[in-house]
Amino acid sequence: MCGIFGLILKSDSGILTASISPLLRHLALSSESRGKDSSGLAFIHLDSLDLIKGDIRIGELIKSEKFNQLFSQAKNQYRDSAKDICILGHARLVTNGSQLQAENNQPVQLENDILVHNGIVVNADQLWKEKPEWTRHYKIDSEVILKKLQEELIKEKKTPQEVFGNLEGTCSIIAYFASQNKLLLSTNNGSLYYLHQPNRFFIVASESFYLNTLIQKSFAKSLITTPIKKLNPGEKIYLDLRTLDFVPFEFKEDPKQNFRTVVHQIQNSKNTREVVLEPEIHFNRNKEKKLFDLLEFNIDRIRTIKRCSKCILPETFPFIYFDEKGECNYCHGYTPKNKSGKLDQLKTIVSSYKSSNSKQDCIVPFSGGRDSTFALHIVKEELGLNPIAFTYEWGMVTDLARRNISRVCGKLGVENIVVAADIHWKRQNIKKNIEAWLRKPALGMIPLFMAGDKYFFYYTDRLKKQTGINLNIWGVNHLENTDFKVGFAGVAPEFEKEHIYSLSRFNQLKLMGYVGKEFLSNSKYLNQSLMDTIGSFAVRYLAPKKDYYQLFDYYPWNENEINNLIQNEYDWEKATDTDSTWRIGDGTAGFYNYVYFTVAGFSEVDTFRSNQVREGMISREEAVKKSMEENKPRYETIRWYLEILGIDFQLALKKINAIPKLYG
């Protein structure tokens, strides 16, 4: 979920002082792609420790006056006084603990020991409860790792396996113990890579690509000739900073005398808005009854809408019509999609991609949703591949989804590569488009709210190039086809399309014409997000997709099987405002489905359940019952969504509720 790195150079390493700045800069800026919410660095000396951190991206941190002062001092001592360079860094994607509070940013510090952590410890609260004698200082989950290392590894002399054994989630760390003058590196999902030459240097980062590009730079090519090594899941190494040798896990308890630790906090003067993470913690319908009562649930009126006699699609659905039996054209045009008994065929296909030396051989785009979770499980456990789970953080992924990602990747021992967008900028784009939409609501423009997440396709393709891995297997579910979204834009359904996101060239032009017309009639859409929106259209509809497979083209999608797996095998966490496991990892869905259901009398739920009816998975009666339950407004999620975007909840709801209904 974050980027961590380290640069350790012996004074006689042969690496020139002039090369140190580009080395550190490369590691820092590469790591920033994993998290831009906050950052921190640790300058480790024999008798002191300087921490510098703040709620700014690391690219800004390394421009600060305090950084330049500390870095210049370290380089001068390296050049003039034969002092080693030892710097650890962290680029944070905020999860537990506000980035506006210095203690919740990393490196985490307890006394003279520090830690940088990539991942989420999902049972951190429980671990603290089990040790009431320990004092918790911060909200950040990473603190419990450092505390366990201090108490259990150093004092109680437990083995590293015992210390890490009850941590749940993903945990890749670099820890520094001042009393030992050593670094501990550990990962449970293989997300640490390093370059190492004893008595010369040790360089570590969260992704191999960062080191690959580093050693190709002119300033490093002739100096660093050792191969990149991977710390495998469950592996731990203990590095003696005096010699840069790996040493046995032995600890002395005598703390360093006169050791000094100083924390320097850098404030972000441009943005003081706190990243609100938890809908269930920050918002509660029982405590905000006045706001909760603004949500409409016109169930009695919606029940009177004429619906298909076979599925549950209503007469308000775009391009729908019914035959003399009351069956709709969507049922007539439907071809069963749920495939069974074809997993062996997929095994044959992927056999040519499979690595023979345990190297990673597949990319699984991983949103943290139930279908991508199931796909990752099948890819690893049934297909026998060694995948990378890839997550694109575009600004609306909930902390719940991040925790579920950590649960699954930690248990499977799968590396999770995260690309984090400039979340503040992405959220500003969404805000501006919603404000434009509220000025002149049109159901056909709602997909604009989700334009930012379509770059998942682009970054998956980029990751393929970076890793040299061609195969990508997606957990796309055909039952989630939502033709109505472009239907409201005047685009008729295509019943024989290859993928649920496919559109013919004619319909692509028609959609572009509709959007262009709306843009011209509402100047508010002509905002900073325009290029982002155009780019999302290109990567979704126009960019070629190679070595691309969808699991559910070969494996039958079964809701009960998936729910049983994610809950029983991975202890998957559900949202507090719905009992469903679907659409809970992204805050956008709760908002736009409220709009669709309130105005048109149906939402994604109705199309999904209708497809299940057509596949013979559930009865029409079950579909009606489920849709009425799952279409209830998700207050906490909607409240979180609008709050995090800076949109007034009351104003937005009143405007949405005032839109003329498509039903009586």
Q: pLDDT per residue over 233-264, tens digit each?
A: 999 999 999 999 999 998 887 666 678 899 99
- Band (pLDDT 50/70/90 cuts) for residue 484 is very high
pLDDT tens digits for range 50-69: 999 998 999 999 999 999 99
86: β partners: 8
Q: What class is the 279-657 domain? A: alpha beta
What integer pLDDT is reported at residue 222 of this predicted model? 81
- In percent, the amount of the chain with pLDDT more than 70 equals 94
Question: What's the whole-model pTM score?
Answer: 0.91
Q: Which of 347-351, 386-390, 463-467, 504-508 has the lowest mean pLDDT?
A: 504-508
**Based on the number of CB atoms within 10 Å of its own CB, is 12 exposed (0-12), middle (13-18) or buried (19 or more)?**
exposed
What integer pLDDT is reported at residue 45 of this predicted model? 94
What integer pLDDT is reported at residue 453 of this predicted model? 84
21: β partners: none
pLDDT tens digits for range 409-452: 999 999 999 998 888 899 999 999 999 999 999 999 999 998 88
Read off the pLDDT of each residue in 305-329 and give the average, rounded to a whole number: 98
CB 201 within 8 A of CB 78: no
Q: Please say if the pLDDT value at position 94 is more than 90.
A: no
Q: Please say if the pLDDT value at position 321 is more than 70.
A: yes
- In percent, the amount of the chain with pLDDT more than 90 equals 78
Spatial separation of the C-alpha atoms in residues 493 and 317, rounded to whole Å = 11
For 165-225, give the secondary structure using H, E and C. Answer: CCCCECCEEEEEECCCCEEEEEECCCCEEEEEECCCEEEEECCHHHHHHHHCCCCCCCCCC
Read off the pLDDT of each residue in 187-215 and give the average, rounded to a whole number: 96
- Band (pLDDT 50/70/90 cuts) for residue 97 is very low
If you average pLDDT over every residue of the chain, what do you get? 92
- Band (pLDDT 50/70/90 cuts) for residue 86 is very high
What integer pLDDT is reported at residue 100 of this predicted model? 44
What integer pLDDT is reported at residue 535 of this predicted model? 85
Read off the pLDDT of each residue in 276-286 and give the average, rounded to a whole number: 62
Burial pattern 36-55, b for ≥16 Cβ within 10 A else e, equals bbbbbbbbbbeeebbbbbbb
CA angle 583, 588, 591 (to 5 degrees): 100
Spatial separation of the C-alpha atoms in residues 416 and 467, rounded to whole Å = 13
CB 148 within 8 A of CB 113: no
pLDDT tens digits for range 340-382: 779 999 999 999 999 988 899 999 999 999 999 999 999 999 9
Contacts of residue 11, Cβ cutoff 8 Å, sequence gap at least 6: 78, 82, 83, 84
What integer pLDDT is reported at residue 467 of this predicted model? 95
- Band (pLDDT 50/70/90 cuts) for residue 271 is low
What integer pLDDT is reported at residue 312 of this predicted model? 98
Q: Please say if the pLDDT value at position 281 is more than 60.
A: no
What integer pLDDT is reported at residue 302 of this predicted model? 97
Q: Which of 270-279, 447-456, 544-553, 639-648 has the lowest mean pLDDT?
A: 270-279
49: β partners: 44, 261
Q: Please say if the pLDDT value at position 280 is more than 60.
A: no
Q: Please say if the pLDDT value at position 110 is more than 90.
A: yes
Half-sphere exposure of 196 (CA within 13 A, CB side): 18
Segments of the chain assigned to CATH 3.40.50.620: 279-657
Residue 578 CB neighbours (<10 A): 18
What integer pLDDT is reported at residue 421 of this predicted model? 86
Q: For residue 105, which amino acid is it? A: N
Structural tokens at position 583:
């659409």
Q: Specify the CATH number of the domain 3-259.
A: 3.60.20.10
- Band (pLDDT 50/70/90 cuts) for residue 275 is low
Segments of the chain assigned to CATH 3.60.20.10: 3-259
What integer pLDDT is reported at residue 99 of this predicted model? 43
Burial pattern 355-389, b for ≥16 Cβ within 10 A else e, equals eeeeebbbbbbbbbbbbbbbbbbbbbeebebbbbb
Structural tokens at position 404:
């579920």
CB 628 within 8 A of CB 582: no
What integer pLDDT is reported at residue 98 of this predicted model? 45
What integer pLDDT is reported at residue 104 of this predicted model? 67
What integer pLDDT is reported at residue 279 of this predicted model? 55
- Band (pLDDT 50/70/90 cuts) for residue 95 is low
Max distance between CA atoms of the chain, in angstroms, equals 91
Tokens 């940013």 -> residue: 105
Tokens 């002082």 -> residue: 17
pLDDT tens digits for range 591-609: 999 999 999 999 999 999 9
- Band (pLDDT 50/70/90 cuts) for residue 501 is low
Spatial separation of the C-alpha atoms in residues 567 and 407, rounded to whole Å = 11
pLDDT tens digits for range 542-561: 777 789 999 999 999 999 99
Q: How far is CA 352 from CA 357, 361, 473, in A?
A: 14, 10, 14
What integer pLDDT is reported at residue 532 of this predicted model? 86
